[in-house]
Amino acid sequence: MSEEWRIVRRVLRGADVVLEVLDVRDPLGTRSRRLEEMARRMGKPVIIVLNKSDLVPRSVAEEWVEYFRARGYRAVYISAAKRLGTRMLWRVIRRASSKDVVVVAVTGMPNVGKSTIINVLRGRHGVGTSPIPGFTRHATRLRAATWLRVIDTPGVVPRGDRDELALRGALRPEALDDPVVAASRLVEVVEEEMPGLLEGMYGVPEGDPYVFLEALARRRGLLGRGGVPRVDEAARLVLRDWQSGRMRFYRRPPSADQSSESGSR
């Protein structure tokens, strides 16, 4: 077990309620079944917090809430950055425990907005925030209200290759030696699930992912010696746009005939 997971386990033991923060654009991709199982074994209630709801249609956020509630989870969608839905989050937390003082562990993958949510709960900017995945590195206990204590945890990094981690927002594009593989996967998925989005955003015809990235590099002037397109820089651009929310791609809940137990380990 990594040091981060050891910290998370210790935090869960001392908490009354666990918030698992997910990116509402891709909840199953940013979900950790390992975390949920750890909390379940300890008898800790888990609240699914679907963050960044300002980046998806309201109907999509509501569909994801119903998806998780149908599977026995408390769930709420919010936009911590825009201060939307935070009152509902307060109410859900209060109902999850009968204790006079409730200790809440805020967990989730890097870059899902944990620190921003803690700032909202505290009502002031007491925790540093950063768009760089993995900014929070140590568990920190904070007083959010007379009845509420909040513990920030390191980002839980799921098992998977580095390309997959970049697609989930857990690894910044600059950390990839070859970002083309991850970006090509992303382009392929976006073209399949939301055709026309990339062409409308970048002005480059969709099609073969590598050809798309090459054309994007030419269009943006990302050229090397002799005018050779810097496909790697175009790939990093696409991944950054996805991680930052500039690319308005999102996923809907799977249909009934698809697996309902998706999520990272």
pLDDT tens figures, 107-161: 998 889 988 898 888 875 444 444 444 444 567 788 888 899 998 877 776 666 7
pLDDT for 144: 85
**According to the model, what pLDDT value does residue 235 have?**
97
Range of lowest pLDDT (98-112, 128-142, 176-190, 246-260): 128-142
Please report where in the chains the tokens 């998370």 appear, as a residue: 8
Same domain, 146 and 23: yes
* H or E element, residue 236: helix 231-244
For residue 189, the enclosing domain spans 162-244
Q: Both tokens of residue 170? A: 């857990």
Are residue 220 and residue 89 in the same domain, yes or no? Answer: no
- Which pLDDT value is given to residue 59? 97
Nearest to 37 by CA among 82, 61, 77, 5: 5
CATH number, domain containing residue 73? 3.40.50.300
Domain assignment present for 121: yes
On whether the CB atoms of residues 48 and 93 are closer than 8 A, the answer is: no
Q: What pLDDT sits at residue 205?
A: 97
Neighbours of 232 (CB within 10 A): 19
The single residue listed with the structure tokens 């308005």 is: 248
- pLDDT at site 193: 96
- Low-confidence winner among 47-61, 99-113, 115-129 (lowest mean pLDDT): 115-129
Residue 164: per-residue pLDDT: 87
Q: Could you give the number of structural domains in the chain?
A: 2
Q: Which of 186, 185, 191 is nearest to 206 (CA)?
A: 191
Confidence band of 79 (pLDDT split at 50, 70, 90): very high
Tell me what the mean pLDDT of segment 187-208 comes to: 97
**Mean pLDDT over the full length of the chain:** 88
What's the pLDDT at 135? 43
Least confident range from 98-102, 129-133, 136-140, 239-243: namely: 129-133
Q: Are residues 125 and 11 in the same domain?
A: yes
> Do 172 and 240 sit in the same domain of this protein?
yes
Q: What is the pLDDT of residue 257?
A: 46
My answer on whether 198 and 228 are in the same domain is yes
CATH number at residue 219: 1.10.1580.10
> Per-residue pLDDT for 30 more than 60?
yes
